[in-house]
Every structure is written in structure tokens, then in C-alpha cells.
Amino acid sequence: MEISFVKPALPGSGTIVLLVAEERGLGPLGLTVDKAAGGQLVRAMSAAAFIGKHDETLTIQAPAWFDRVLLVGLGKLDQLKPTAIETLGGTIYSQLTSAKAGSATIVAELPEDAPAGLNIATDLAQGALLRSYRFEKYRTVERPGHKSALTELTIAANHPNAARTSFGRSKAIAEGVFFTRDLVSEPANILYPESFAERVRERMTALGVTVEILGEAKLAKLGMGALLGVGQGSERETQLVVMTYNGAPKVKNKRPVAFVGKGVTFDTGGISLKPGPGMEDMKWDMAGAGAVAGLIAALAGRKAKVNAVGVIALVENMPDGKAQRPGDIVKSMSGQTIEVLNTDAEGRLALADALWYTIDRFKPQAVVDLATLTGAVIIALGGEFAGLFANDDTLAEQLLAAGLESGEKLWRLPMADAYDRQIDSDAADMKNIAGDRGAGSAIGAVFLKRFVKDARWAHLDIAGVAWSKKDKPTIPKGATAFGVRLLDRFVADVFEH
């Protein structure tokens, strides 16, 4: 789909989309269309009791010279925010797709008393673009009615050049989101640690990002026994991928901000085998690593003025004769020993070494990890929020704010000393589970906390938000790429110079 920006004018054909603020009626161009259609729009609005509530839509077929007019409600002006406008963009795309529209023009006009600072044209375009994503590369037969006919989307705005420039940044972020969605959507026979690492190398090299891939020999030399233990039952070689983006080489404080991702490309649970039903979903147990890769791609794509590092631990958790057993004790890169009581609590083992390595090598200003770590966070927060744990209140507040701005929402959860004491082991320095089902997400977080030294650190448990079982306005059913837009906003607000 090609998206373009033009000055406000009525198109000569196709579908036209008009925005209507709640109880405010049509704008100037809308009234022009209504006049040309002999008052058909106003009559249809009255008959349908359409008043412009947020996300309310009304389609009028063949008025004047248009194929159709789609009216879309903005809602109350004082509640209009960028995320709400993006949602409208996604809704518009869905409506146009359902109508099999080949081309459409959105009239991006707001009443004069709308809140200042809104970039409505860019946000509408971003929402439509994010909703347009499809992962259908393995289908040999097109599903009836599923393919969008929409090839051209034009947005009429008062300042099209400014919108075009702003959309360049938004498009780079969307491309990072799509890279993550592609990675997370791939089946595990196609995307395994080595192939994941090569895809990252190919994409990042094209963007000017330095990539290092550490194989098992190097990981063993570094002492990453926790990470290597997870993968020892798999025929696939465990990998650690380091992405270094230097977008602000002249700043005084060259220490980067770091992001670490759990990349379990398939998780059977190992010897602590998961139940069969639903195990196919474990192809996306690498969504944290996918989000880190997409974030670095987004930062590089929009030429963010920041120094950033992304580290992803890529491993497959399989139950063969060489697999790690419950009761095994492994030594992490930090020197701390871990009694592995449950091989299905493997993500924290992979992250333990990845976090220690990242902090020890790069001395980052802050480090954020992302992981589909626990099913417990789904019980706590469902699919609406990711769990946030942090050892620094300021960092937590910055991430919470970025979540609200980006629409990828977080909820802070506690890390009490009482939880930490529950992972003390009689046989080693710690054990990887507490032994009961209580506070599972917090137990995972306090385990990770033992591997971050005194760094400013936050942990995002994204197990409930990494995959959507239904279509949402800007997220088609499937991989969400949660974390890419959140952390891009966080970087822009806090670290860009």
C-alpha cells in the first residue's frame, strides 16, 4: 500500500473518508461533499443517529461522484490523543479493506479548537500502516476476501510536506515493528538460533548496525553455563547476538542504553515437558529477542541520536538424552550457581548470562530486558498490560510514561525481599523456581535481579501481550511486536541528544 500526502481537495473518484468530532458535524470539506450529494450525508447521519463517537463509522454508498463516503467518529476533542488517532487509522484501513476499496482519500481536518500539537495526518497514516501487516508467506492459496484491494491511500492535510517528513520517522518505526512480527510469526523449523542470528545480521548490516554472533565455543569460554544448559538438549547451536548502534558518537557520555531479549526459539519445557495442547504457541517464546531486534532496526532506520546496544540470547529448549535435568546445578557467567528445579523455567537462565554479559561489557546507562517469562503474568494482567519490574523508580516512571504515549501499556509489580528469599537453595546459590505457584512473575524478576549488579535495570514480562488471538485496530491477529514502539518512545524521551 502506497501512502501519500496532499493539500486538502476533493478527489475525482474512489472512496473519501471524513472525520467527524463528537456532536460537531461535518467539517468544511465534508459539507462540500454533502452539498454535491444533495444533502445525502447529513440525512444518513440523522437516520443512523451518527454523532461522531470515537471509532463510530458510517458508510454511504455512491454519493455524488464517489464510490462511497466513510464517516469516522473522532470522539470528544478533549480526549483526542495520538494513540487514539492511530486507532482510527487502523479502523479506517479495516473498513476500506472490508469494502474492497482500491484507493481512498482521508480528509485529515480537525475543528479549530482541537488540542494543539496533534499530528493527525501522520498518526492516521501510521495506524493504517500498522494494521496493513500480513504474514501469509506460507499460504499457497489466497483466502477468499482476505487480501486487501487497497493499493493507494492519500491523506489530505493542511501541511502535507511536514506530514510527509514526519511519516518518514513513523515508517522506520513501523518497519522495525514488521521485522519483529515477521520473526515472531515464523515456525520453529525455519527460525532457530542460527537462522535467527543470520536474519539479524543481514538486516542490521544493511542499516549500519555492528553485529557480533557468539557461538557455543565462545559462550563456553565466557562461562555462560546457565544459557548453554538450556540448549544442551537441542541439535541447534545456542547463539548470543550483540547489536551495537552508535547514533550519538560525539556525546560526552558514550555509555549506551542497553536492551536484552529472551530468544527461546521453541520451548518444549525440556525434561519438565509442557502439555501437548497449545505447545505450538511456543514458537513465539522468542518474542523478547524479536522486539529487541525490531527496536534496534527502528532506531537505526530513523537515525536516532542515541548509542544503543541490543543483546539477544537465542536457544532452543528440547528434551533429548543430553538435556538438562531437574536437580542439575549450573554455573552462570557471574560465578553464581543455580539449581535447576524446573527446566521449563529456562528463560531466566538464558537472561541471567545475557544480562551479566551486557552489563559487564558495556556498563550501560540503563538496561531493559524483555521476555515472555511467565504464564503467571497472564493470570495477573491478561492481554492488556505487560508486567514491569524495576530496581529504579525513575526508570520505572519513564517506562510507564512511554507505555501510555505509545499505547503499549505497562503495570508495575513488586520485587520484595520476601520473594528473593524464596529462591535461596540448599544445594547452590539459588534455585530457578520457588517451589510453589505463588507470585510466579515476581519470582522470575527477583531471580534476574541477582544478575544486574548495581545497574539501573527494568524487566518487562511480555508473555500476555506478545501474541494477539484476535484482530485489534493497529494489530492484526498474531504477533504484536509489543515493546518496539514502547522502547522507541522511551529512547526518544529519555536518551536522545
Going from N- to C-terminal start, the domains of the chain cover 2-158, 171-494
Query: Could you tell me the pLDDT band of residue 384, with boundaries at 50, 70 and 90?
Result: very high
pLDDT value at position 146? 66
Lowest mean pLDDT among 93-102, 147-156, 356-365, 483-492: 147-156
- Residue 278: left if φ>0, alpha if ψ -120 to 50, beta else—which one? left
Q: Taking a C-beta distance cutoff of 8 angstroms, is the pair 413, 387 a contact?
A: yes
Cell of 31: 459539507
Share of the chain above pLDDT 70, in %: 99
Q: Taking a C-beta distance cutoff of 8 angstroms, is the pair 351, 289 a contact?
A: no
pLDDT value at position 476? 96
Helix (H, G, I), strand (E, B) or coil at 438: coil
pLDDT value at position 253? 85
pLDDT value at position 497? 67
Query: Could you tell me the pLDDT band of residue 147, with boundaries at 50, 70 and 90?
Result: confident
pLDDT value at position 112? 85
Measured CA to CA, the distance from residue 126 to residue 86 in angstroms comes to 6
pLDDT per residue over 13-41, tens digit each? 899 999 999 999 999 999 999 999 999 99
pLDDT per residue over 399-451, tens digit each? 999 999 999 999 999 999 999 999 999 999 999 999 888 999 999 999 999 99
Query: Could you tell me the pLDDT band of residue 145, with boundaries at 50, 70 and 90?
Result: low
pLDDT value at position 122? 97
Locate the DSSP E strands across 114-209: 152-156
Share of the chain above pLDDT 90, in %: 93
Domain 2-158: give its CATH superfamily.
Leucine Aminopeptidase, subunit E, domain 1 (3.40.220.10)
The catalytic site residues sit at 274, 348
Phi, psi dihedral angles at 336 (to 5 degrees)? -75, 145
Cell of 286: 522468542
Q: Which residues contact 89 (CB under 8 A, 6 or more apart)?
A: 123, 124, 125, 126, 127, 128, 129, 130, 131, 474
Lowest mean pLDDT among 26-30, 211-215, 331-335: 26-30
pTM attached to this predicted model: 0.97
Q: Taking a C-beta distance cutoff of 8 angstroms, is the pair 490, 408 a contact?
A: no
Instruction: Tell which CATH classification among 3.40.630.10, 3.40.50.720, 3.20.20.210, 3.40.30.10 matches the domain 171-494.
Output: 3.40.630.10
